[in-house]
């Protein structure tokens, strides 16, 4: 024999079912919203990082081409690059952040080493030339290191 339920019980079961459906739907929608928001955030961050890497690449090239130039403005360009780096370095990967910081210092040192090498004589000059060549190779490799660092994002 089936027991009849009262209209109030039926109403309460109906309301309970509706509330449970709303709750489950809300939880499901929350997780979808959270995932979409996270994806948008990560996309914006990656997009901005690409921009920062491109700027780092451009600034590195600019300084590389000034290395053998007697442009009096080169100290200003080094200082501008250092200021840019101080304002954007946290967007760079740690490996390239350290490399770029060293690069700025190395460019500055290169001009000083060039002057010292020109004033050197004999065996001392050979040693200074070798040091200058090594520093030049390190400086000119920065763009390849930037490219390698950003290529990690292409592999995802």
Q: Which residue has the higher pLDDT, 156 or 75?
A: 75
Structural domain contains residue 84:
yes
Structural domain contains residue 106:
yes
Structural domain contains residue 29:
no
Structural domain contains residue 28:
no
Confidence of residue 156 (pLDDT cuts 50, 70, 90): low
User: Which DSSP letter does residue 4 get?
Assistant: P
What span, in angstroms and rounded, lies between the C-alpha atoms of 156 and 151?
A: 9
Structural domain contains residue 95:
yes
Structural domain contains residue 34:
no
In tens, the pLDDT along 93-142 reads: 899 999 999 999 998 888 888 878 777 777 787 888 888 889 889 998 99
Structural domain contains residue 65:
yes
pLDDT of the residue at 104? 93
pLDDT of the residue at 111? 81
H or E element at residue 119: helix 94-119
Q: Which residue has the higher pLDDT, 29 or 62?
A: 62
Structural domain contains residue 83:
yes
Least confident of 12-16, 27-31, 92-96, 151-155: 151-155
Per the structure, the count of domains in the chain is 1
Q: Which residue has the higher pLDDT, 95 or 33?
A: 95
pLDDT of the residue at 71? 65
What does pTM read for this prediction? 0.69
In tens, the pLDDT along 37-87 reads: 777 777 788 888 899 999 999 999 988 888 777 667 788 888 999 999 999
Q: Nearest-CA neighbor of 74 among 84, 59, 88?
A: 59
Q: Which residue has the higher pLDDT, 3 or 96?
A: 96
- Boundaries of domain holding 146: 49-154
Given a contact cutoff of 8 angstroms between Cβ atoms, the answer to whether 92 and 81 are in contact is no
pLDDT of the residue at 61? 92
Give 155's contacts (C-beta < 8 A, 6+ positions apart). none
Q: Nearest-CA neighbor of 61 among 111, 103, 109?
A: 103
């Amino acid at each position: 024999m089936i027991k009849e339920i009262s209209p109030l019980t039926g109403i309460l079961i109906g309301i309970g079912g509706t509330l449970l459906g709303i709750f489950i739907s809300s939880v499901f929608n929350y997780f979808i919203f959270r995932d979409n928001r996270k994806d948008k955030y990560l996309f914006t961050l990656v997009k901005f990082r690409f921009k920062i890497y491109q700027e780092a690449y451009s600034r590195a090239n600019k300084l590389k081409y000034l290395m053998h130039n007697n442009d009096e403005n080169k100290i200003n360009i080094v200082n501008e690059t250092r200021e840019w780096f101080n304002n954007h370095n946290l967007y760079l990967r740690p490996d390239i952040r350290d490399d770029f910081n060293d690069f700025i210092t190395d460019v500055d040192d290169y001009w000083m080493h060039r002057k010292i090498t020109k004033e050197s004589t004999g065996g001392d000059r050979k040693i200074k030339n070798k040091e200058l060549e090594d520093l030049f190779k390190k400086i000119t490799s920065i763009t390849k290191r930037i490219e390698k660092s950003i290529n990690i994002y292409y592999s995802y």
